């Protein structure tokens, strides 16, 4: 009787152990499959047939005049930069500076969606300088995981505080004379606002993308995105005007070794211009789909 009971227990124990082992093996296999699934995407390799996308950002209507900033909270700022003014809408001769223009979506000539490619991270850092108690540049682009080097060229202390939605938020004090701060952004985000906890008027915007196809419009409103593979793309221009900024969208087709033109317009009369543009512009040159 005693012997029979022991046998039953022994068999039960063996069966249960085997079941547990099988379950563990299945789990491991499942995890391995999941990891395999995560490594999608092929690295883009230049074919030597890349071209450029360029254009101009217009500002229609009356641009708000820059306002002088009251820097009395930190006398050092006033000493170094007595004429510090707002930079939210910088317009000269009807052209808008500091618009962030980028390839938002599209398909390369080889039929691959741009989002399916991985683009090599540039080894050089992008610099954001604090100089005269404002950020230089005011708008910048960077690739995911590319180094952002923050420098303090002022004889006063700053506190850099990006407020991203898709990346971790942080803030860090940088006293005068302190070494540069180096940071990266792991995820794409257009755009990450940056403020200074020391000087409430200080603002910058960082466009983070997985690819290098972006540019910022200069004082003459012009921009050029270089090294773009041939394909059909949605190009977006973002400007900080409005609560969350304003984004305009256009379509562009780029031939091998080509140079495509695409213009954008912001300001009060921008929508009307965009509609006129649709009727007048040749389709391949640019089709205007002004949004907002």
Q: What does the binding site for Cu ion look like in residue numbers (CB under 5 A)?
A: 158, 196, 198-199, 202
CB 262 within 8 A of CB 235: yes
Q: How far is the CB of 136 from Cu ion (least distance, A)?
A: 12
Find out whether the peptide bond into 191 is cis, omega within 30 degrees of 0.
Answer: yes
Q: How far is the CB of 123 from Cu ion (least distance, A)?
A: 29
| Residue whose token pair is 């910058």 | 204
- 137/218 with CB nearer Cu ion: 137
- 161/210 with CB nearer Cu ion: 161
- 80/210 with CB nearer Cu ion: 80
Q: How far is the CB of 239 from Cu ion (least distance, A)?
A: 23
- 128/286 with CB nearer Cu ion: 128
| Residue 274, token pair as written in the block | 């965009």
| Residue whose token pair is 């540049």 | 137
Q: How far is the CB of 155 from Cu ion (least distance, A)?
A: 12
CB 85 within 8 A of CB 64: no
Q: How far is the CB of 133 from Cu ion (least distance, A)?
A: 6
Per DSSP, the residues of 18-49 read: HHHHHHHHHHHHHHHHHHHHH---EE----S-
Contacts of 273 by beta carbon, 8 Å cutoff, 6+ apart: 58, 60, 265, 290
What's the residue count for the chain?
292
Task: Report which DSSP code applies to 5.
Answer: H
Q: Which residue is nearest to Cu ion (CB)?
A: 196
- 89/198 with CB nearer Cu ion: 198
Q: How far is the CB of 200 from Cu ion (least distance, A)?
A: 9
- 129/189 with CB nearer Cu ion: 129
| CA dihedral of 197, 97, 252, 47, whole degrees rounded to 10 | -70
- Burial class from Cβ neighbours inside 10 Å (0-12, 13-18, 19+) for residue 278 reads middle
- 202/288 with CB nearer Cu ion: 202
Q: How far is the CB of 38 from Cu ion (least distance, A)?
A: 40
Terminal alpha carbon distance of the chain? 86
């Amino acid at each position: 009787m005693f012997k029979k009971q022991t046998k039953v227990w022994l068999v039960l124990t063996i069966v249960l152990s085997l079941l547990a082992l099988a379950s563990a093996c299945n789990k491991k296999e499942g995890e391995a499959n999941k990891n395999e699934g995560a490594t999608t995407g092929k690295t883009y390799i230049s074919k030597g047939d890349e071209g450029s996308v360029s254009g101009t950002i217009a500002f229609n209507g009356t641009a708000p005049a820059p306002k002088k900033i009251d820097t009395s909270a930190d006398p050092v700022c006033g000493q170094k930069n007595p004429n510090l003014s707002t930079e939210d809408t910088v317009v000269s001769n009807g052209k808008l500076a500091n618009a962030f223009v980028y390839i938002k979506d599209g398909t390369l000539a080889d039929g691959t969606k741009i989002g399916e490619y991985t683009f090599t991270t540039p080894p050089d850092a992008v610099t954001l300088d604090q100089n005269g108690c404002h950020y230089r540049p005011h708008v910048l682009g960077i690739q995911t995981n590319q180094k952002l080097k923050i420098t303090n060229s002022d004889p006063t202390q700053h506190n850099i505080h990006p407020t991203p939605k898709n990346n971790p938020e942080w803030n860090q004090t940088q006293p005068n004379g302190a070494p540069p701060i180096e940071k990266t952004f792991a995820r794409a985000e257009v755009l990450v606002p940056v403020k200074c906890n020391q000087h409430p008027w200080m603002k910058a915007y960082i466009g983070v993308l997985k690819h290098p196809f972006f540019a910022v419009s200069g004082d003459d409103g012009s921009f050029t995105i270089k090294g773009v593979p041939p394909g059909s793309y949605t190009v977006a221009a973002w400007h900080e005007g409005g609560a969350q900024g304003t984004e305009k969208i256009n379509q562009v087709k780029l031939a091998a070794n080509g140079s495509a033109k695409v213009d954008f317009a912001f300001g009060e009369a921008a929508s009307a211009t965009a509609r006129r543009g649709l009727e007048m512009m040749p389709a391949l040159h640019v089709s205007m789909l002004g949004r907002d």
